[in-house]
Amino acid sequence: MKVLVTGGSGFLGLEICRQLKARGDTVSSLGRRPSGALERLGVHQHLGDLADAAAVSRAVAGCDAVVHNAALAGVSGPPRPYWVTNVVGTRHVIEQCRAHGVGTLLYTSTASVVFRPGGVEGVTESLPPVPRHLAAYPATKARAEALVLAAHGPELATVSLRPHIIWGPGDPHFAPALARAVRAGRLPMPGDGGNLVDTTHVRTAAHAHLLALDRLRRSPRAVGGRAYFVGQDDPRPLRELTGHFLRAAGVDARWCAVPPRLATAGAAAGDALLRAVRSSRTHALSRFLVAELLHPHWFDLTAARRDLGFEPPVGFDAGIAELTRLTPSAPNDGEETPCRTPTTPSVPS
């Protein structure tokens, strides 16, 4: 196939491109900046912004399929930048797929579109997105996913995948954010960390994309117009997860529980302050972030197994062992001190 991957230079996008190239597909990417990694893979790069319909048109032309992976991710910030990239950009992708006769569109969504107060445990795709989200990122991703699924029809087959907390070698988000949050050998986090959370290794997420792409092309009636959760199917207490990621990064730190009410109040105050000063920060302390750190979020993957033939190709423990081998050991940050502030890592979900 000739496949366009939007956001191909990103963490997940690059792995999708790598796996597509490895099996012999002709791959191109749409991104705002040139990528040396994509160049080394032999991926043709179109430079442009999703908000520019002409740039999207040039990238889509001549393709058999599009994997729409690019997005603005974050846990805070004003709605407009998220809307322009995630919603307007997705509209442009759909329109240009139709204009150029592209028959297959795979959308990278997020499991956070269904996250709600109190968390979600073992839910299926029958659970609808919430009417009001705690942040612009999940709100705009939910809207974009709805546009993609509604676009499914005889001329354009569409499907959406919902990975969650993607990590692995080269992770620029989750593990680095945890390491930055460590203070004097302690990791200040809301609650006791007993909430179960599932994650997605980057190779697992990319593998699911290739499965969905192929299944959609072969049997559009079977999977078209549907969304699927994908992940490791190995939910673990958040406290355990953070410990694994920090040790793999060579950071020795102990969990420091911040009272949930204090963390929630601090996040609400932070959200209000960001709005008041019209801040554009996308990774500040927020109610959305604190809620995801306090509550469970894991999902039933039965539909992906049944319809896509999905199984995680990388186990959680094997993935952590790989990270540990790739990272040199680092000493403890220093003498332990009590936690006094609800500082938490900013990680897009």
Model pLDDT, residue 328:
64
Model pLDDT, residue 339:
54
Predicted structure pTM score:
0.92
pLDDT in tens, the chain (349 residues): 999 999 999 999 999 999 999 999 999 999 999 999 999 999 999 999 999 999 999 999 999 999 999 999 988 789 999 999 999 999 999 999 999 999 999 999 999 999 998 999 999 999 998 888 989 999 999 999 999 999 999 999 999 999 999 999 999 888 888 888 898 889 999 999 999 999 999 999 999 999 999 999 999 999 999 999 999 999 999 999 999 999 998 898 999 999 999 988 988 888 888 788 877 777 777 888 999 999 999 999 999 999 999 999 999 999 999 999 987 654 443 333 445 444 445 445 5
State the catalytic residues.
137
Model pLDDT, residue 344:
45
Separation CA 231–CA 33 (nearest Å): 29
Query: How big is the chain by its Cα radius of gyration, in Å?
Result: 20
Containing H/E element for 203?
A: helix 202-218
Model pLDDT, residue 338:
44
CA distances from 58 to 62, 99, 105, 213, 241 (A): 9, 11, 16, 22, 42
The CATH code of the domain at 2-168+199-229 is 3.40.50.720
Based on the number of CB atoms within 10 Å of its own CB, is 283 exposed (0-12), middle (13-18) or buried (19 or more)? middle
Model pLDDT, residue 336:
38
Model pLDDT, residue 281:
75
C-alpha atoms less than 13 angstroms from C-alpha of 317 in its C-beta half-sphere:
0
Based on the number of CB atoms within 10 Å of its own CB, is 5 exposed (0-12), middle (13-18) or buried (19 or more)? buried
What SS3 state is found at 309? coil
Answer positive or negative: Cα dihedral of 226, 108, 111, 242: positive
Cβ contacts of 245 within 8 Å, gap of 6 or more: 167, 174, 175, 178, 320, 323
What SS3 state is found at 328? coil
